[in-house]
Each structure stands twice: as structure tokens, then as C-alpha cells.
Amino acid sequence: MFVIDCPHCGPRDQAEFAYAGEAHIARPANADELTDAEWAGYVFMRRNGKGLYAERWWHAAGCRKFFNMLRNTATDQIHAVYRIGERPPEVKADLPRTPSGEASIGSGNDAVKLVRDTGAGDA
Amino acid sequence: MNAPVRRSPLAHREPLEAADQLLRLRERPFEAKLILRAHAGDAELALRAVAGLDTPGNCRFLDTDGITAAWLSPDEFLVLGAVGKEHELAESLASALDWRHHQVANVTDYYTTLAFAGPKAREALMKLTTLDMHARSFVQGDARGTVFGHCNAWILQRADDETNGGPSFDLIVRWSHADYLFCALAHAGREWGMPEATPRGGENLLA
């Protein structure tokens, strides 16, 4: 359990919040021109990285507003909380050192990763 | 044909009291409840015109002449009034906002109010919620939405801790959760002699 600082209500327990996916994914303006693969990229493909991650949260039990958060997915440290429509602040997140010398992003076993260009999804 | 009878969600519950009035729990049914949604500036205009109230700050409420305005979110306010006043209140809010973008929803029968008071009320509430209920961080005039046991509710602190008879809280809870919350509060107060109450729906009580 950890405490999340809602931009409207102040610090509250995590139990009051709901996760709402990666932040800053803009709906393509030219939806009718996209291929199915490009549309799937927008709908399904997420960076899901290890380390600093911009995500949306929803204060379900409090003000019922969405907001953005910069969270380190490796350590659960919350670096910044900011409102919808604002730019993410510049922060630096350190990943924990691991004995195996893991790569900073992903599992480290990049050789077996299926790499696919998803087009609009990573915007 | 039977005459229409207004029935509160806790009509089957008697008010409960712990030993020496350490805790007092009862329902205050049918009080007027409205949800006002508008931009903060417009809401201020309406609240001032209807009740002479300023806009409450974040997580706060203000009251006067039996009308209470509580902050729920940046563009959402809970307006509470006396029994039977909901239509009058709704009309005056709507006419004050006139052509401005707004919504006034009558939720009088969607929620009910539980009045929970007594010198141990704060400690009993602490057992049910993760909200910081310490007297240092939750004071008279505060209004917050959070989770109590298994259900959501809005909590307002009416009387401060110095009041004779202890602080008093109003919990605005959904009709269908009211019986559970009533029993959960009674259960939380059992160490101070609150009578046991079993939820009709058979829900598990926390704490």
C-alpha cells in the first residue's frame, strides 16, 4: 500500500485510486485513414517499460477526477503528479542496481524479443 | 390502493448508542440532497445567490441557514438542505445558473445521511477507513469522499472535537449501502458498548 498525492484532494491511500493506463496517448485525428495494424497500435500497444512511466490514475473514491503520474515502475516511487492537460515535468529516475546487471528497459533478454513497428501507438 | 409511503433505507433500524453516550449513531432520512455540477466560478455565483455561501475550498464544506455546500470535486458540489426543500433548492440553483453550463441533480432519495457522533466517533471511524481521521488532519468543516469498510461514502465533520458530547460526523452514503455502513459503524464501536447489528444482506463486517 502506498500514498498517492491527488492533485485535488491531497495525499490519500492507494485503495481509493484506480489505474487507467499509459498517459499521453493521443487518439489519431485521421482515424478513417488508418490501417487495422495502426489502429491496433493506438488501441492496444503500450510501452510498458521498466523505469519512469507516465500513467493516468483515477481518484475513484474521492474527487473522481483523472490525473497523470510519473512513476518508476521498478521501485514504485512516485516522482510527480500533475493534472490532465499538463506537460510531464522533467525528472530523473534511477533504476535499482541488480546483481545480474539487468538492462535498464525490459527483461534484458532482448535477443528473443519480437520487435514490431506499431506506428501511431508509440507516439 | 395503498397510500404512497416514503420509506427510508434504514426504516428498520433504531438509533444506536454506546455506553455513556460515547457513540451515537442514527439515520437522518429524507434531507434534501442535490449534486450541483458547474465550473467553480459559476457554482460560486449560484451558491451565493441561493444560500449566501462562498464556494467551499477543496475537501471542505460551508453551511448557513440549514443549507450546506460541500466540495466534492473541482466542478461538483453537494448541496444539502432541510427535509422537503429539494425541489425549491433545485429550482433556485437552476434559475441562478440560468443559461450557464450546469447540472443540478436531485439525489435526495439516492443517498441517506448517517449521523455518527460521540467522544469515540473518531476512533471508531479510524477502524473502517484509510483516510487520515486524526484530529490534526480532519477537522470541523472538512468534507471528503473515501471508502468505509466495503462501501464509498462522503464524510463531513459537523461539530468540532471541543463540543460537549464529542465530534459529530455526517456520512452521506448510497441507499443500498446504508444498512451495511450502519452495521459496520455499530460493529466498529463494539469495544465501547455499541449494540451488535447484523446487515440484512449478510455482508461481512470489517474490523
Delimit the domains of chain B by residue range: 20-29+110-190, 31-106
**Residues in A touching B130 (Cβ below 8 Å):** 1, 12-13, 15-16
A61–B59 C-beta distance less than 8 A: no
With contact defined as beta carbons under 8 Å apart, do B4 and B106 qualify?
no
Angle ∠(A12,A17,A18) on CA atoms, nearest 5: 165
Residue B61 grid cell = 464544506
Q: What is the mean pLDDT of residues B184-191?
A: 95
Task: Name the grid cell of A12.
Answer: 490519500
Give the DSSP per-residue string, B109-173.
TTEEEEEEESTTHHHHHHTT-SS---TTTS-TTBEEEEEETTEEEEEEEEE-TTSTT--EEEEEE
In contact, A45 and A122? CB cutoff 8 Å = yes
Helix (H, G, I), strand (E, B) or coil at A81: strand
Residue A32 has what pLDDT? Answer: 92
Cα-Cα end-to-end distance for chain B: 45
Which of A12, A15, A64 faces B73 most closely, judged by CB atoms?
A64
Mean pLDDT of all residues belonging to chain A: 84
* Element containing residue B15 per DSSP (H, E): none
Task: Enumerate the residues of chain A whose CB falls inside 8 A of the CB of residue B206.
Answer: none
pLDDT-derived band of residue A114, with 50, 70 and 90 as boundaries?
A: low
B139 in reach of chain A (CB within 8 A): no
Distance CA(A103)–CA(A98), nearest Å, equals 9
Q: Which CATH number applies to B20-29+110-190?
A: 3.30.1360.120
Q: Which positions in chain A touch B72 (Cβ < 8 Å)?
A: 63-64
- Give the per-residue pLDDT at A74: 82
> CA-CA distance, B45 to B32, in Å (whole number)?
20
Residue B194: CB atoms within 10 A of its CB come to: 23
Indicate the CATH number of A3-27+38-96+105-112 among 3.30.2270.10, 3.40.50.280, 3.20.20.20, 1.20.1260.10. Answer: 3.30.2270.10
The 8-class DSSP code of residue A51 comes to: S
Q: Is the ipTM of this complex over 0.90?
A: no
The answer, yes or no, to whether residue B65 has pLDDT greater than 90, is no
- Chain B hits for A64, Cβ within 8 Å: 72-73, 76, 145
CATH class name, domain B31-106: alpha beta
- Which carries the bigger pLDDT value, residue A100 or residue B61? B61
Q: Which residue has the higher pLDDT, B177 or A96?
A: B177
Indicate if the pLDDT at residue A110 is higher than 80.
no
Tell me if B146 and A62 make a contact (CB, 8 A cut-off): yes
